[in-house]
Amino acid sequence: MPPPVARVVVLAGPSGVGKSRLAAATGLPVLRLDDYYRSGDDPDLPRITQGANAGIVDWDDPRSWHADEAVRAICDLAVTGRTVAPLYDIARNGPSGTHEVHLGGASVFVAEGIFAQEIVQACAGHGVLAAAFCLRQRPLVTFWRRLTRDLRERRKPPLVLVRRGWALMRDQQRVIADAAALGCTVVSPHQAATRIRALRH
């Protein structure tokens, strides 16, 4: 692979912790990794096997996501300054088109998503990683933010969202621990913003 002209800041963390909000606030180019979800009719999608939501697709399992395509897009951006990414439509459970992400001369860009921690080591191996952060918030804060967002966007029936949100809240510390084990530095959104600003200079 040719030498990169830019490097990526990977933003991971539990759903609802504020990854998209922070990424937008940096003013840097952003690649939305959640756009690389598999389509809802993909036969390889994992499914929940226990509990009230048994039988439905487990969208919180990394196997519901195209990690290899996300890494390729990051490498394209880092080396060429542009990539064509899918536009995922949650209501359709699948992509609704594509869009171009370009750096415009920026030497740092952000890639954020619920499974971002899964590609930290691959990005480091390709020589395109600037930093990797996992955001932390109090579990009740992430639960409320996630629920209000998902209800507003009508992502799933309300009862499913409440059950999923409660399960995710209980699982939050494990998610953060896993991200740390995969190479992320665990920080608050404020700390991450400060460190990202420093990388721009």
- Amino acid of residue 90: I
* 22 close to 11: Cβ distance less than 8 angstroms: yes
The enclosing H or E element of 82 equals strand 82-89
pLDDT of residue 58: 77
pLDDT of residue 27: 94
From CA 196, how far away is CA 185, in angstroms rounded? 12
What domains are defined for the chain?
7-199 (3.40.50.300)
- Amino acid of residue 129: L
pLDDT of residue 185: 96
pTM assigned to the model: 0.81
pLDDT of residue 138: 72
Upper half-sphere CA count for residue 49 (Cβ side, 13 Å): 3
How far apart, in Å, are the Cα atoms of 57 and each of 91, 156, 196?
A: 14, 12, 35
pLDDT of residue 160: 65
From CA 32, how far away is CA 157, in angstroms rounded? 24
The enclosing H or E element of 11 equals strand 7-12
- Tens-digit pLDDT string for the chain (201 aa): 788 999 999 999 987 788 988 999 999 999 999 999 888 788 888 888 777 667 787 777 888 899 999 999 999 999 999 999 999 887 777 788 899 999 999 999 999 999 999 999 999 999 999 999 999 877 666 666 666 776 666 666 766 666 665 566 566 778 888 999 999 999 999 999 999 999 976
From CA 171, how far away is CA 147, in angstroms rounded? 15
- Amino acid of residue 61: D
From CA 20, how far away is CA 30, in angstroms rounded? 9
Torsion of CA 197, 198, 200, 201, to 10 degrees: 130
From CA 128, how far away is CA 54, in angstroms rounded? 39
Give me the count of residues in the chain: 201
Q: What are phi and psi of 76, to 5 degrees?
A: -60, -50
Closest CA to 85 of 18, 162, 30, 136: 30
